[in-house]
């Protein structure tokens, strides 16, 4: 199995600011994903991040709002830009491991925007 | 994004009983299905998976059943324990795809 860590684990931010969330995987993976989970709800895919290419965003999510970096095979960042209270959510990083097709998740970053 | 934005239904069972959690999926092209367990403050944890060429798969105390005709998936937990209390999500992935789309979760409460 893979171990995924995220930083920060939680943060409280002011409206209009930006937060960058870091995700570290303990093994090299081609595909990483970012999800959002609002309180009491399911997970919504934000984007897919492959190393060496631009992230692919799902409907309703745009690069200007959620820029993603994927500088190597073990690391990715998600930035939540120009935050508003509606961005308050848990943001989860995930990696897909070939061979087994198993997808692992980080512990999440709980973001509160005031 | 794709998801089911519903507040979570709840299933309450007595410790030692069997639990059955159900899920309906919508994409006929999905051929790989996964159940995840999410405890409070943690990310989803893989429990068991099944491919569309199977209708049943068993793990340790868990069984997943797949009915492609009605696009229904279920997770059965035998001898439910307090540590099984969590939110359970079904998820699907389509042929040749890599995006995992999550269904609505179910919150399982286990009464001691």
Chain B residue closest in CA terms to A36: B1
Peptide bond before residue B57 is cis, with ω within 30 degrees of 0: no
Q: Using pLDDT thresholds of 50, 70 and 90, give the confidence band for residue A65.
A: very high
For chain B, list residues whose CB is within 8 angstroms of any CB belonging to chain A: 1-8, 32, 34, 36, 41-46, 49, 89, 93, 98-105
Interchain pair A92, B44: CB under 8 A: yes
| Per-residue pLDDT tens over the stretch A71-92 | 999 999 999 999 999 999 999 9
Is residue A35 within 8 Å of residue A92, measured between CB atoms?
Answer: yes
CA distance A109 to A22: 9
Mention every residue, 6+ apart, whose C-beta is less than 8 A from residue A75. A22, A23, A24, A25
Is residue A27 within 8 Å of residue A2, measured between CB atoms?
Answer: yes
| Per-residue pLDDT tens over the stretch A16-63 | 999 999 999 999 998 999 999 998 899 999 999 988 888 999 999 999
Is residue B60 within 8 Å of residue B46, measured between CB atoms?
Answer: no
Confidence check: pLDDT of B11 > 60: yes
Q: Average pLDDT in the A58-69 region?
A: 96
Count CB pairs under 8 A between chains A and B: 74
Instruction: Report the Cα B39 to chain-centroid distance in Å.
Output: 14
Interchain pair B46, A103: CB under 8 A: yes
């Amino acid at each position: 199995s893979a171990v995924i860590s995220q930083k920060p684990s939680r943060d409280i931010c002011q409206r209009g600011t930006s937060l960058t969330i870091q995700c570290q995987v303990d093994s090299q993976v081609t595909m990483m994903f970012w999800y959002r989970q609002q309180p009491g709800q399911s997970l919504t895919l934000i984007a897919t991040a492959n190393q060496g290419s631009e992230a692919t965003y799902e409907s309703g999510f745009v690069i200007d709002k959620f820029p993603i970096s994927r500088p190597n095979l073990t690391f990715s960042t998600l930035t939540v830009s120009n935050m508003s209270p509606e961005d308050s959510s848990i943001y989860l990083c995930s990696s897909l491991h070939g061979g087994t097709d198993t997808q692992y998740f980080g512990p999440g970053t709980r973001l509160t925007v005031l | 994004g794709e998801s089911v934005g519903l507040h979570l239904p709840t299933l309450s069972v007595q410790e030692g009983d069997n639990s059955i959690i159900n899920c309906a999926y919508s994409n006929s092209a999905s051929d790989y299905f996964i159940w995840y367990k999410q405890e409070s403050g943690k990310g989803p944890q893989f429990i068991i998976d099944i491919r569309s060429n199977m209708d049943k798969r068993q793990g340790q105390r868990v069984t997943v059943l797949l009915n492609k005709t009605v696009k229904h998936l279920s997770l059965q937990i035998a001898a439910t324990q307090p540590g099984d209390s969590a939110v359970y999500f079904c998820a699907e992935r389509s042929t040749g795809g890599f995006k995992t789309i999550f269904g609505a979760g179910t919150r399982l409460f286990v009464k001691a």
